[in-house]
């Protein structure tokens, strides 16, 4: 029996990429204000990773959450990289604007997973971690070493996380990846509970996930959490797509047309993007990040927005949404 950890009250969470200084150099105080706004708004699912800001985001989440009653919230973090402190001159180039002084290596062995969890507990000051995602075990992150690391995870991470769950050390585990194949590979050879599916399912791009990912997780009884449901800001008007500066061909026109139809129905494309993801029964939560408190408030407002049925019908009629995709009823 799968652990159904995320419920109706966790449909909107907050992710930790932006708080790890992915897009701008957010200060500790700004990070605290973002998280405080999330808490005050009723958000009770918090997701981060030691990768974000080279352990910075995880520490910030921990500083905020460690004095809260852990029965009140769900916390997830990730394994798959080990970190070691280095001089500032040896910090590798990454996507983070102001990371801490750490270098890292990918490692999906059982010992590395246990060490990673111990270090996350030390960094956050929390008494336990609810959900552990195996992070970035996918070709877009590890390249042609994917088969090597997948074998390592099958013999290590997959088994040890199931053992830790069965012992009650963690409550659930799964993959946290930007591609579909790793989730399918994991389901085939292990028993994950929940997977963080980033950049695979959004109002702008979802066809492959509808055909291959959603049927597989439904059959396996695995829940999905949506990361980058706004394509890392592209839906909201930022000129980056899935954490990269290269915008896929035709995407600008697609976004503009959806925005025009949204305007006609007097709604916001962000509201529509959030409701589109959550209309799929496989997705139990969406966890957009935030660089400012107002973005958290906008996400909360989006969750409660009413989207006219005619909007979805028009998107489908124009082929802007895949005919097989679920939309809100």
| CATH number of the domain residue 223 falls in | 3.20.20.100
Asked if residue 323 is part of any domain, the answer here is no
Asked if residue 15 is part of any domain, the answer here is yes
d(CA 272, CA 307): 7
Asked if residue 97 is part of any domain, the answer here is yes
Q: pTM to 2 decimals?
A: 0.96
Asked if residue 276 is part of any domain, the answer here is yes
Number of Cβ atoms within 10 Å of the Cβ of 245: 7
In the chain, how many domains are there? 1
Out of 47, 130, 136, 185, pick the active-site residue: 47
List 176's β-bridge partners, or say none: 135, 196
Domain that holds residue 109: 8-318
pLDDT given at position 3 = 61
Dihedral, CA atoms, 81, 82, 84, 89, nearest 10 degrees? -20
Q: Is 47 a catalytic residue?
A: yes
Out of 45, 46, 56, 78, pick the active-site residue: 78
Asked if residue 328 is part of any domain, the answer here is no
Asked if residue 329 is part of any domain, the answer here is no
Q: Note whether 173 and 131 are within 8 A (CB).
A: yes
pLDDT given at position 230 = 96
pLDDT given at position 1 = 46
Q: Which two tokens stand for residue 291?
A: 């660089």
The low-confidence residues of the chain, meaning pLDDT below 50, are: 1
Q: Is 52 a catalytic residue?
A: yes
Asked if residue 125 is part of any domain, the answer here is yes
Asked if residue 327 is part of any domain, the answer here is no
d(CA 203, CA 43): 23
């Amino acid at each position: 029996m799968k652990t159904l950890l995320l419920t109706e009250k966790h449909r909107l969470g907050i992710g930790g990429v932006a708080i790890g200084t992915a897009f701008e150099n957010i200060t500790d105080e700004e990070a605290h204000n973002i998280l405080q706004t999330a808490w005050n708004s009723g958000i009770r699912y918090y997701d981060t990773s030691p990768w974000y800001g080279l352990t910075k985001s995880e520490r910030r989440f921990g500083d905020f959450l460690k004095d809260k009653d852990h029965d009140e919230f769900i916390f997830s973090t990730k394994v798959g990289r080990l970190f070691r402190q280095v001089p500032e001159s040896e910090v590798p180039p990454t996507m983070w604007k102001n990371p801490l002084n750490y270098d890292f290596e990918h490692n999906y062995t059982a010992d590395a997973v246990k060490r990673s969890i111990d270090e996350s507990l030390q960094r956050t000051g929390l008494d336990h971690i609810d959900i552990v995602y195996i992070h970035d075990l996918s070709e877009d992150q590890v390249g042609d070493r994917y088969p090597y690391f997948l074998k390592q995870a099958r013999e290590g991470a997959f088994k040890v996380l199931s053992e830790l769950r069965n012992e009650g050390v963690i409550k659930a585990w799964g993959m946290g990846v930007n591609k579909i194949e790793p989730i399918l590979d994991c389901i085939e050879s292990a028993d994950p509970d929940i997977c963080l599916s980033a950049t695979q399912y959004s109002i702008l791009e979802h066809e492959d996930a509808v055909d291959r990912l959603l049927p597989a997780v439904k059959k396996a009884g695995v829940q999905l959490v949506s990361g980058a449901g706004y394509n890392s800001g592209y839906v909201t008007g930022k000129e980056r797509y899935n954490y990269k500066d290269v915008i896929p061909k035709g995407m600008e026109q697609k976004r503009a047309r959806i925005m025009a139809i949204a305007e006609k129905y007097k709604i916001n494309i962000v509201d529509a993007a959030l409701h589109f993801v959550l209309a799929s029964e496989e997705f139990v939560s969406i966890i957009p990040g935030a660089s400012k408190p107002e973005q958290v408030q906008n996400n909360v407002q989006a969750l409660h927005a009413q989207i006219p049925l005619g909007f979805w019908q028009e998107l489908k009629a124009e082929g802007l949404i895949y005919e097989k995709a679920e939309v809100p009823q």
